[in-house]
Each structure stands twice: as structure tokens, then as C-alpha cells.
Amino acid sequence: MTPRVSVLIPAHNEAGYIGDCLQAVFASDPLPEGMTAEVLVLANGCTDATAALARDALPPDGWDLQVLELPEGGKLGALNAGDAAARGDILIYLDADVLVSPGLLPQIAVALDLEAPRYASGCPQVSSARSPVTRAYARLWMQLPFFSSGVPGFGIFAMNRAGRQRWGNWPDIIADDIFARLKFAPGERVRVPASYSWPMVEGFRNLVKVRRRQNAGVSEVAAKFPQLTRNEDTVKASAGTALQLLLRDPLGFLAYGAVALAVKTPLFASRTRWTRGR
């Protein structure tokens, strides 16, 4: 049977992004011969025009589009609803503010078209930022080992059905992307060469809030699922690497260090467990 691809896009008040996201998806290069695809926009707890704008998108031949309007907000609930509705053999989880390059989805489909469990993502690129602080932070961040090696998977990650069967419903956690990645051993994860554009939040305050949430997500997965840590292959920057980064980009190093230090303080503390910083 010819494999089918499902692209699941959880979206909470993403009216400013969902149109461009879908346009990029539907501008993808052709899938391997015989493959079909569906896109499920999981509009959860939206109070804006996200669902309406998604329905206005025009899928090309071979693609189906379905918009699920869920009354309650929450990414994990949206993912569970999307998984229940998805018909694909290959599941691609895409954030609504991410823009895929034309080759990314077909390359992921090829990489995951096999019976053994596999996980895949592409090569991330950070979108151009307006804030000088964000631009400096992003420059340094993109030089860290985890960004250029392994399969980070933030913004978009994918797996075949054999891989998705390793767990049931998505657990109530912050870092769904980290949880999913660590369900696969390093040798089961594939980084395809095509890229995608991922936006970083603007300004020092938002960087601190999101970095704090990211750190909490990592700690939560380690605490709730300690057995998954054996699959962690992220390389931490050595003292020598840190010195090279400082000499190469002192402003970027300063911005990154200031955010890392602020996260350890009550500065900009949020009352919500999950924040996008925008």
C-alpha cells in the first residue's frame, strides 16, 4: 500500500502565521510517486481567525486539508485529537509559525518510508529578528553544538507509525518535542538536508521567559521519564568552545549569557506553565 503523509499543525491564535505556514507546506516539492498527503490544522481554543484562514488555504492536487476546531486550548490535547484523526503512515508535527523549504516534507517522507521505527527532522534556520538583542542571542545560539549536530527537532519533527506506537496519548508536559525525540535512540533519528525557518521571540524579556520554559521542559522530561535520558546525545559546549565563541562574537556571548543568568532569577517570572513569549 502506498504510504500517506499526515502533517499535523497545532494552532492557538495563530492568525498571523497560519496562512504563510500552509502556503509553504502546499508549495512543497512533489512527494514520492504515489504518495498522498493530508494536513490537519488543530485550532485549539482560538479566539481569532486562525480556523477561518486555514480553511481558506487551497491545497494542491494530492493534498487534503482538514481544520479541527477544538474548544479548549492546549497543545497536548490538540496533538492527541490530531493523532486520532490522522490517517497517515508518516506523521509530521509542525508548529504554525514555522516555514518549511520546498524539499523538506518530501525528504522526511522518504526517510520515514520504512517498517523500522524512525524519527526525522530538517536543518533549522532562525528567522531574521527585529530586536538587536534577539539577533545577537540567535547568532550565538546557532553556533552551539546541539544546533549544528544531531537532530534537534524544535519547530518540526516527524516519525513513522512504527515509531509513534511507542507511546499512547501525549503526556501533559511542556516539551513535547524533547519527549518525542528521546523516544528514539540516536541511531534511529535522521536529519535530512532540507531546511526550515523557525522564529525566535523578540526582546530580552521574551527570551528570558521562553528560555525559562524550555529549561523547565527539559527538567520535567528528565524527572518524569528518566529512562529517556539514555537517548540524549546533545553535546554541551566545552570551556574551550565557550572561549572561542566569546572571542568570535562578544556581543552574542553577552546576550546569551545575560539571558541564561536572568533565567536563574525571578525576573519576568510567569504565572503560566507554558508561554510562547509573544
| pLDDT single digits (tens) 13-65 | 999 999 999 999 999 999 999 899 999 999 999 999 999 999 999 999 999 99
Burial letters 225-244, b for 16+ CB under 10 A, else e: beebeeeeeeeeeeeeeeee
Q: What is the pTM of this model?
A: 0.95
Average pLDDT value for residue range 87-100: 98
CATH number of 4-263: 3.90.550.10
> So where are the chain's domains?
4-263
Q: Which residue has the cell 546525545?
A: 233
| pLDDT single digits (tens) 154-210 | 999 999 999 999 999 999 999 999 999 999 999 999 999 999 999 999 999 999 999
CA distance 70 to 137: 35
- Let me know: does 151 contact 178? Beta carbons within 8 Å: no
Q: Determine the pLDDT at residue 274.
A: 56
